[in-house]
Amino acid sequence: MVRSLKKIIKVVLWIVIFMFAAYLLLNMKYPLSYVETIDKYAEEYGVDKYLVYSMINTESGFNKEAQSHKGAKGLMQLMPMTSEEICGNLSEDVNSLDMADPETNIKYGVYYIKQLLDKYEGNVEV
């Protein structure tokens, strides 16, 4: 009886260790930063939050300082002209536009994704 209990405890302990290691590895490979901001704007604009997470991971690896050689900036790699157009659509002040700010970059990026989803009738493979 005691031997069986020890084996069960050992198996459970190994499962817990494995799950914790998997959790750590997944967080290193796929960091989930800016969760509240992403969830907020994904809900506000009706965009799948996991689509937003995957796009940020692909575009910038969750690096808010990311900048492409073509001039795209921030987490969602928005081009300046696109950002200015969105700014106008949202009736915000272009002079205070800061694409390095995660809140602004995510807001504008999710807004832009929503425009594209509407344009292509929800098809993400276009």
Among the listed residues 43, 59, 92, 125, the single catalytic one is: 59
Alpha-helical segments (H) within 30-47: 35-45
Any catalytic annotation for residue 59? yes
In whole angstroms, what is the distance from residue 94 CA to residue 96 CA? 5
What type of residue sits at position 37?
A: T
CA 8 to chain centre: 39
Burial of 77 (0-12, 13-18, 19+ CB in 10 A): buried
How wide is the angle at C-alpha 90 spanned by C-alphas 53 and 44, nearest 5°? Answer: 40
Catalytically active residues are 59
